[in-house]
C-alpha cells in the first residue's frame, strides 16, 4: 500500500523536473538553484527515505504509546488530543532526524524540544510577562510593509526556525520543508490506513 | 597554398558583389582569421607567411585588430603596415593575392565604418572570433577608442550567438564582458570600460540594461530569488498559472498551512487508532516469545503462524530487514512450515483480513477484551 502511494508522486516529480532551462543569464542562477534543490527534493522522494521515515515513525509511535498507555483511559478526549500533539511532535522530530541536519528547519525542530524543556523549567521559576510585552511592542511598531515582504515574513514564521533568514535561503528552506511535509503526510496517511484497517472497528461501534 | 587558393576563389566570388556588405565582412573576418592563425605554425613556407612573419609584432596587431573587427584607423594602419613589407619584398614576392589582400584591407576599412553606422546581420563569425581570443583582447587593448569601436561592433550580435562562447568566457576569470546595442551612449561605454579593467565577478549584462556594479549585483540577486521561486512554483500544485510573486507566495503559504493541518489531522487519527494496536506491535516486535507461543489457543496453527504473518505484513509495508527480536522466532520455522503455505495464500489476499486475524489473536492472547473480540469477529 505504501509503495503504491509513493511511486506515483515520485514519477510526477521527476517529469516536472525533466525540462532543462535554456542557457542564459537567468538560467545560470536557475541551474544553480536547481542543482541545490533537486538533490534535496529528490531526497524526499526516494523509496529509501520513505522507508526509513516509516520505520522510524513506527518505532517512535510505539514509544509514545508505551508512554501514554500508562495514563488512564477514562478521559478519552483529553488523551486523544494530548496523544495527537505528542504524535505530531514525534513525527516532526522523526522527519527532522531523517533530514540529517542539512536543513535549517530540521535543526530547529530538533533543537526546539530542548528549548521547550528548558523553558518549562524556567517558567516554573520566572514569570511570563516578558513575552507578551514584547509581542505588543512589535504589533504597534509595524508599518505596512510591501505585500511580498509581508508574505515572506509569514512564510518564515510557518517554516520552523526560519524567521530571520535571508530571502533566497528562506525559499530554499521552504522548498525542502514542503517536500518533507508531503512525504510525512503520505507516510502518516498510509500508516493510519494500515492501522485502522487492521484494527477491528469494534471500539467505535461496540461497547 | 591553401590560403592562396582560398583567397583566389573567394576574391573572384566577392569582388563582383559588393551589395551584401555583411557577407563580405563575414568572409573577410574568416579570411583574416585564417591568415593570422596560420601565422604561428608555419615558420618557413610560402611567401605569404614569410611576408607576415617579417613584421611579427605588426602581425600580432593584425590578429587583434581583426578580432575586434578592427576600427577604421586600425585597419588602415594594417593596410599601411602591410604595404611597406610588400614593397620591401617587392620582386621576391610570388604571392599573387597580395594586391587582393590590400584591397581587402581597404575594403574592410570601408566596411568597418559602415558597420559602425548601420545594423549588422552577419555578425556570427566576427562575434565568434572575439570570443575565442577574448583573453588576448583585454591585454592588447590600449586605446579607449579601440575598445569603443570594438564593443560597439561586438554588441551588435544577438545574444544567442554568444551562448556557446559565454560558457568559455565564464571561466576566463575576473572579467566583465558587456554586450550593448550599437546605439548605446558613450557614457555607458565609458562606464563599461572602467568596469572591464577592474577584477569583478563575471556577470553579463543584457541589452538595454544598466551595467554598473550595483544594478548588476541587484540583478544577480533578483535572479537567484526568481529561480528559487520557480522551483517552489513547480513544487506547489496550481502555482504554474499564477502570475506575480505575491500571489504565488500566497499559494505557497496556503499549501504549507494545509500540509501542516493534514499532519495534525493524521496525528489525531493515529492517536485514536493507537491504543488498539498497542498490543499488536508491542508483542510482535518485542522479544516476548513465550507469551506468544503459549497463547490460550494451543491447537490452532494460526497461533503459531500469526507472528510470522504480522511480521510479513510489516515487511510488505516497510520493505526492510527485520529487527533482531523477531529473528528469535525463526528457529520455529521448521515447525511452521506446513502452515506457511496457507499463510502465503492468505497473504496474497487481503492484508486486512490478515491483520484482523492477527489482532484478533492478539486480543485473545492479551485476554483484555477477549469476550468482546471473539463475539464481534465471529
CA distance A171 to A182: 16
Q: What is the pTM of this model?
A: 0.46
Interface of B with A in 219-238 (CB under 8 A): 220-221, 223-232, 234-236
CA dist B172 to B74, B153, B168, Å? 26, 21, 7
Give the range among A30-39, A190-199, B316-325 with minimum mean pLDDT: B316-325
- Cα dist. B354→A21, A166, B283, B333, B350 in Å? 50, 52, 16, 19, 7
The pLDDT, as a whole number, for residue B241 is 85
pLDDT tens for B173-196 read: 444 444 444 444 444 444 444 444
Higher pLDDT, A165 or B157: A165
Which candidate from A84, A87, A168 shows the least CB-CB separation from B228? A168
Whether pLDDT at A103 is above 80: yes
What average pLDDT does this structure show over B44-67? 48
- Cβ atoms of A202 and B372 within 8 Å: the answer is yes
Q: Return the higher-pLDDT residue of B245 and B85.
A: B245
> Which residues in B26-41 are b (16+ Cβ under 10 Å) and which e?
bbbbbbbbebbebbee
Q: Check residue A102 and report its DSSP letter.
A: -
pLDDT of residue A85: 79
pLDDT in tens, B85-113: 444 444 444 455 555 555 565 565 555 45
Structure confidence at residue B31 (pLDDT): 55
pLDDT tens-place string over residues A47-75: 767 777 777 767 776 776 666 666 555 55
Q: CA-to-CA distance for A5 and A190, rounded, in angstroms?
A: 8
Q: Which helix (H) or strand (E) holds B69?
A: none
A5 in contact with B, Cβ within 8 Å: no
Q: In this predicted structure, what is the pLDDT of residue B334? A: 39
Quick: pLDDT tens for B157-178: 444 444 444 444 444 444 444 4
Mean pLDDT over B25-50 rounds to 50
What letter would DSSP give residue B237?
T
Give Cα separations from B249 to A160, B69, B113, B204, B256 (angstroms).
17, 48, 52, 29, 10
pLDDT above 80 (res B201) = no
Domain map (residue ranges) of chain A:
32-70+80-118+151-194
Inter-chain touch B317–A194, beta carbons under 8 Å: yes
- Nearest to residue B361, comparing CAs of B274, B315, B294? B294
Contact between B232 and A174 using a beta-carbon 8 Å cutoff: yes
Most confident of A173-177, B48-52, B365-369: A173-177
Residue B252 has pLDDT above 80, yes or no: yes
- Name residue, grid cell 529487527: B323
Q: How far apart are the first and last CA of chain B?
A: 102
Say if the Cβ atoms of A148 and B226 lie within 8 Å.
no
For range A21-44, the mean pLDDT = 65
Q: Which ipTM score applies to this complex?
A: 0.73
Q: What is the pLDDT of residues B333-370, one digit of tens each?
A: 334 344 444 444 443 434 333 333 333 343 333 334 34
How far, in Å, CA of A88 to CA of A139, rounded?
30
Put simply, the chain B residues between 7 and 66 with a CB less than 8 A from any chain A CB are: none
Which of B227, B232, B246 minimises the CB distance to A29? B227
CB spacing of A192 vs B266 below 8 angstroms:
yes
pLDDT digits (tens, 9 = 90+) for B1-36: 444 444 444 444 444 444 444 444 445 555 555 555
What confidence score (pLDDT) does residue A79 get?
A: 65
What average pLDDT does this structure show over B232-255?
A: 87
Long-range contacts of B345-349 (CB under 8 A, 24+ apart): B346/B309, B347/B309, B347/B312, B347/B313, B347/B316
Question: Does position A10 have pLDDT exceeding 90, yes or no?
Answer: no
Pick from A77, A80, A99: nearest CA to A180: A99
**Rounded distance between C-alpha atoms, residue B234 and residue B237, angstroms:** 7
Task: Tell me chain B's radius of gyration from C-alpha atoms.
Answer: 41
For residue B56, the model assigns a pLDDT of 47
Q: What percent of chain B has pLDDT over 70?
A: 17
Q: In this model, does residue B263 exceed pLDDT 70?
A: yes
Task: Give the pLDDT score at B255.
Answer: 92
Task: Indicate the pLDDT class of residue A24, thresholds 50, 70 and 90.
Answer: low
Most confident segment among A172-176, B22-26, B290-294: A172-176
Chain B segment 69-88 residues within 8 A of A by beta carbon are none
Shortest distance between the Cα of B368 and any Cα of chain A, in A, equals 13
Element (H, E) at B212: none
CA dist list (Å): B323 to A47, A137, A189, B64, B284 = 19, 54, 23, 72, 11
Instruction: Count CB neighbours of B197 within 10 A.
Output: 12
Give the nearest chain B residue to A73 (CA atoms): B275
Q: Do A62 and B229 touch (CB under 8 A)?
A: no
Q: B241 Cβ partners below 8 Å, 6+ apart? A: none
What per-residue confidence (pLDDT) applies to A86?
Answer: 78
Give the residue with greater pLDDT, B6 vs B250.
B250
Q: What is the pLDDT of residue A115?
A: 79
Distance to chain B for A127, nearest Cα, Å: 30
Q: Which residue has the higher pLDDT, B180 or A164?
A: A164
Mean pLDDT of chain A: 70
Percentage helix, strand, coil, to 5, in chain B?
Answer: 75, 0, 25
Copy the grid coordinates of residue B147: 575598445
> What whole-number percentage of chain B has pLDDT above 90?
5
Residue B208 pLDDT: 72
Calpha distance B15→B27 (Å, rounded): 12
Task: Give the closest-approach CA distance of A92 to chain B in angstroms.
Answer: 9
Residue listed under C-alpha cell 507566495: B249
The pLDDT mean for chain B works out to 53
Going by pLDDT thresholds of 50, 70 and 90, the confidence category of residue B258 is very high
Residue of A nearest to B284 (CA): A62
**B263 lies within 8 A of chain A by CB:** yes
B251 touches chain A (CB under 8 A): no
Amino acid at each position: 500500500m505504501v509503495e503504491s502511494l509513493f511511486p506515483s508522486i515520485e514519477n510526477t516529480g521527476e517529469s516536472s523536473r525533466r525540462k532543462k532551462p535554456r542557457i542564459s543569464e537567468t538560467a545560470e542562477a536557475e541551474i544553480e538553484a536547481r542543482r541545490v534543490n533537486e538533490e534535496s527534493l529528490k531526497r524526499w522522494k526516494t523509496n529509501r527515505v520513505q522507508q526509513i521515515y516509516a520505520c522510524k515513525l513506527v518505532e517512535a509511535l510505539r514509544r509514545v504509546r508505551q508512554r501514554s498507555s500508562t495514563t488512564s483511559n477514562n478521559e478519552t478526549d483529553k488523551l486523544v488530543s494530548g496523544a495527537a500533539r505528542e504524535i505530531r511532535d514525534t513525527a516532526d522530530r522523526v522527519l527532522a532526524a531523517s533530514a540529517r541536519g542539512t536543513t535549517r528547519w530540521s535543526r530547529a525542530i530538533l533543537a526546539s524540544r530542548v528549548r521547550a524543556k528548558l523553558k518549562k523549567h524556567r517558567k516554573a521559576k520566572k514569570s511570563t510577562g516578558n513575552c507578551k510585552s514584547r509581542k505588543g511592542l512589535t504589533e504597534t511598531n509595524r508599518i505596512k510593509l510591501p505585500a511580498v515582504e509581508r508574505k515572506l515574513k509569514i512564510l518564515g514564521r510557518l517554516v520552523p526556525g526560519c524567521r530571520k533568514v535571508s530571502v533566497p535561503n528562506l525559499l530554499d528552506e521552504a522548498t525542502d520543508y514542503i517536500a518533507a511535509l508531503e512525504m510525512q503526510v503520505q507516510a502518516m496517511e498510509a500508516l493510519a490506513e494500515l492501522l485502522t484497517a487492521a484494527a477491528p472497528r469494534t471500539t467505535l461501534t461496540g461497547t | 597554398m591553401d590560403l592562396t587558393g582560398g583567397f583566389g576563389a573567394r576574391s573572384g566570388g566577392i569582388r563582383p558583389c559588393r551589395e551584401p556588405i555583411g557577407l563580405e565582412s563575414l568572409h573577410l573576418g574568416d579570411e583574416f582569421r585564417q591568415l593570422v592563425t596560420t601565422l604561428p605554425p608555419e615558420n618557413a613556407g610560402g611567401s605569404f607567411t614569410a611576408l607576415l612573419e617579417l613584421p611579427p609584432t605588426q602581425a600580432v596587431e593584425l590578429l587583434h585588430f581583426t578580432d575586434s573587427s578592427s576600427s577604421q584607423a586600425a585597419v588602415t594602419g594594417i593596410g599601411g603596415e602591410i604595404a611597406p613589407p610588400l614593397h620591401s619584398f617587392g620582386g621576391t614576392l610570388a604571392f599573387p593575392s597580395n594586391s587582393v589582400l590590400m584591397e581587402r584591407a581597404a575594403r574592410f576599412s570601408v566596411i568597418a565604418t559602415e558597420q559602425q553606422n548601420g545594423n549588422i546581420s552577419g555578425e556570427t563569425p566576427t562575434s565568434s572570433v572575439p570570443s575565442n581570443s577574448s583573453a588576448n583582447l583585454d591585454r592588447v587593448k590600449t586605446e579607449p577608442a579601440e575598445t569603443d569601436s570594438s564593443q560597439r561592433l561586438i554588441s551588435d550580435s544577438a545574444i544567442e550567438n554568444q551562448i556557446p562562447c559565454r560558457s568559455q568566457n565564464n571561466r576566463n576569470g575576473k572579467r566583465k564582458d558587456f554586450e550593448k546595442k550599437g546605439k548605446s551612449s558613450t557614457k555607458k561605454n565609458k562606464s563599461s570600460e572602467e568596469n572591464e579593467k577592474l577584477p569583478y565577478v563575471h556577470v553579463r549584462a543584457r541589452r538595454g540594461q544598466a551595467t554598473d556594479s550595483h544594478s548588476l549585483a541587484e540583478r544577480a540577486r533578483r535572479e537567484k530569488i526568481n529561480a528559487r521561486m520557480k522551483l517552489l512554483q513547480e513544487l506547489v500544485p496550481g502555482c504554474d498559472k499564477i502570475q506575480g510573486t505575491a500571489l504565488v507566495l500566497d499559494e505557497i503559504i496556503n499549501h504549507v498551512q494545509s500540509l501542516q493541518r493534514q499532519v495534525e489531522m493524521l496525528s489525531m487519527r493515529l492517536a485514536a487508532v493507537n491504543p488498539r494496536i498497542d498490543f499488536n506491535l508491542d508483542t510482535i516486535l518485542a522479544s516476548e516469545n513465550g507469551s506468544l507461543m503459549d497463547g490460550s489457543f494451543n491447537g490452532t496453527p494460526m497461533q503459531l503462524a500469526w507472528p510470522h504473518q504480522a511480521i510479513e505484513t510489516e515487511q510488505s509495508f516497510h520493505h526492510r530487514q527485520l529487527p533482531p527480536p523477531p529473528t528469535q522466532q525463526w528457529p520455529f520455522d521448521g515447525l511452521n512450515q506446513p502452515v506457511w503455505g496457507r499463510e502465503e495464500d492468505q497473504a496474497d489476499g487481503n492484508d486486512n483480513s490478515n491483520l484482523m486475524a492477527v489482532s484478533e489473536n492478539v486480543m485473545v492472547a492479551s485476554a483484555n477484551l477477549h469476550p468482546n473480540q471473539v463475539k464481534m469477529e465471529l
